[in-house]
Amino acid sequence: MHQGSGFLSTRQRRLAWLGFLLAALQAPVSAWLVTDDSWLFSLCVALMVATVIIADDAARRRPADATSD
């Protein structure tokens, strides 16, 4: 049984992880430095990138011969 490939290339996957880590680390730092709630934007971006990474993981784990409904 052969695993399917995700929709992200290896380079895009690495950049997504880098973007996730940078946004996730920037949120608490900006929350500490800035008095307004603009740090929530960084948190939302990190969650959106994490969703893409999780969806790519699910596509990679699906068998190659499986069809989508």
Give dist(CA 23, CA 25) in Å, integer: 5
The answer to the question of residue 66 being in a domain is no
In sequence order, what are the residues at sequence separation of 6 or more whose Cβ sits closer than 8 angstroms to the Cβ of residue 39?
Answer: 26, 27, 28, 30, 31
CA distance 40 to 38: 5
Considering the domain boundaries, does residue 4 fall inside one?
Answer: no
Write down the pTM of the prediction. Answer: 0.77
Q: Give the per-residue pLDDT at 1.
A: 46
Tell me, what amino acid is at 27?
A: A
User: Number of folded domains in the chain?
Assistant: 1
Residue 2 maps to a domain: no
Q: What is the pLDDT of residues 21-50, one digit of tens each?
A: 999 999 899 889 988 888 899 899 999 999
Does residue 5 form part of some domain?
no
Per DSSP, the residues of 25-46 read: HHHHHHHHH-SSSTHHHHHHHH
Q: What is the pLDDT of residue 6?
A: 84
Percent of the chain whose pLDDT exceeds 70: 86
Please state the rounded mean pLDDT for residues 58-63: 86
Does residue 51 belong to any structural domain of this protein? Answer: yes
Supply the range of the domain harboring residue 37. Answer: 10-61
